[in-house]
Amino acid sequence: MLTQEELLKLLADMESDRIERTVSTNKTDKFSQAVCAFANDLPNHREPGYLLIGVDDKTGKPVGLQVTDELLLNLAALRSDGNIQPLPVLVVSKFSLPEGDVAVVEVQPSNLPPVRYKGQVWIRVGPRKAIANEQEERLLSERRTSRAHTYDALPMIGVGIEELSLPLFSAYRQEVVDAEVIAANHRTHKEQLASLRFYDLQYDCCTAGGLLLFGKRPRHFFPGAYIQYLRLPGEGLTDLPTDQAEIAGDLLSVLRELDTRIKSNIQSTLHPVSVLRERLLPDYPEVAVRELLLNAVMHRDYQSTTPIRFYWYSDHVEIQSAGGLYGSVTKDTLTRRSSYRNPVIAEAMKALGYVNRFGYGIQRAQAVLQQNGNPPAEFDIDEHVFHVTLRKRPE
C-alpha cells in the first residue's frame, strides 16, 4: 500500500514511465487503458504502476480535486467489470493533501500477460500509452512462463497444437480480440493461442487452460474434468436415479449442456398474487442454480481426479467441487472478496457470456433465492472441498 511520503515522491518524479497523471474523473476508457498498460509492464520494471487522478500532467501538482466515494467505487470497478482480462491486481486509495485530494490506482505487474482491455493489448512506451504490435505481444507471451502461478496457465510439456480444436478457438477469438487486431493479424495459430494464454511458445506446447477450453479430449489429460450429474426422486442417495450423465468435453460444450439440464429440472407452479391475478413461481430460480454451478466450474481444482458433483434431489440441490477456498478468500469474506484459482478459465467464461461481472456470483445467487422465497444457500467448505446446498422453495 502506497504511503503519503511515497506519493509525494511520485508527484515530484516527472520522468518515470510507471506514473500516469490526469485531472479527468470520468474517462473510464483512459483509466482502463492505463491499468492494462501497467499490468503488462512491457519495460519489465517488476514494480507497480500508478494512475494518479486529480494531478496535472505538466506540473505534477494536485489541482484541488475533491475525491468522492462514488469515484473510488468507479475506480475499483475497473477490476470487476470484466473489460480488463485477465484480472489485474490493483488497490484504490485516496490521499488528502493541502492542495487537494488525489485518487491513486496502484497496479501490480501481471503474472499472465498479455493483459487486454476490450480486446486490445495496451503497453507503456516511455511516457505514453500505445497498443502493442505483434512482436511486443509475443514478448509478453514469452515472459509469462516464468511468472505463471496458476495451474490453468502452466505449460503441458509434450502436448502439441494437434490436441486443440482450431475452429473452436477461432470462433472464441472473434469474441475476445478486437476486430481491428484480427484484421491486421499475420501471426501463426500458435502465436494467436499464446497471446490468449492457451499455448506456450517457449516449450512449444498447450497450456492446461487451452486443453480444458479447446481440447479434443480434455479428460485424457485431466481425468476429473467432468460433471457427475444425478436426478434423484427422493431426498437421499439411497434411491435409484431417474436420470444421470457424465458431462464432459470442451468447456463450451459442458456449459451448454449444464444450461439445458438446469432448465429441464426447474418446475414452476401458479401462486395467487391477488383475487384476480396469479403468477408462475419456480421451485428454484434458474439464475441462482446457474451462478453457483458456474462458480464450481470456474474455481475447481483441475488437478484433482474428483469430478464436480451436481445432484438434484426432490427437495434440494447439491453442488460439490474439488478445491476449497483460494487465495485471500475466507468463509467470512466469501461474498465480498474474490481470488481466482483459474484466471484463464474465468476470462474465457466472461468472454463467452457465462459471467457478467467478477466477484458477484454468490451475492447474486443469494439475492435471487431470497426474492423467489427460497432459503439462503448453505455452504460447507474445507481446504479440499467446496459444497453448496440449495433448498426448494416452500409451498
Query: 241-266 pLDDT, tens per residue?
Result: 999 999 999 998 999 999 999 999 99
Are residues 191 and 309 located together in one domain of the fold? no
Last residue of a domain, one of 201, 218, 235: 218
Q: Report the length, in residues, of the chain.
A: 395
Query: What Rg, from alpha-carbon coordinates, does the chain have?
Result: 23
CB neighbours (10 Å) of residue 276? 6
Domain that holds residue 42: 4-129
Q: Is 87 helix (H, G, I), strand (E, B) or coil?
A: coil
CB neighbour list of residue 55: distance below 8 Å, 6 or more residues apart: 11, 21, 22, 23, 61, 62, 63, 102
> Are 255 and 352 found together in one domain?
yes
Q: Is residue 138 part of a domain?
A: no
Look up the CATH number of the domain holding residue 72.
3.30.950.30
Same domain flag for 162 and 194? yes
Domain harbouring 276, CATH code: 3.30.565.60
Q: In a 3-state reduction of DSSP, which class is residue 99?
A: coil
**Which residues make Cβ contacts (< 8 Å) with residue 159, sequence separation at least 6?**
205, 206, 211, 221
Tell me the average pLDDT of the chain.
Answer: 89
DSSP code of 164? B
- pLDDT tens per residue across span 331-386: 666 655 566 788 899 889 988 888 876 667 888 999 999 999 999 999 998 878 99
* Cα within 13 Å of Cα(292), Cβ side: 31
Query: Which one of 78, 98, 129 terminates a domain?
Result: 129
Residue 139 lies in a domain: no
The per-residue pLDDT for range 117-147, each reduced to its tens digit, is: 988 999 998 878 999 988 898 888 877 755 6
Structural domains in the chain (count): 3
Residues 105 and 83 in one domain: yes
Domain shared by 261 and 376, yes or no: yes
Instruction: Give one word for 101, left, alpha or beta, with left for phi > 0 and alpha for psi -120 to 50.
Output: beta
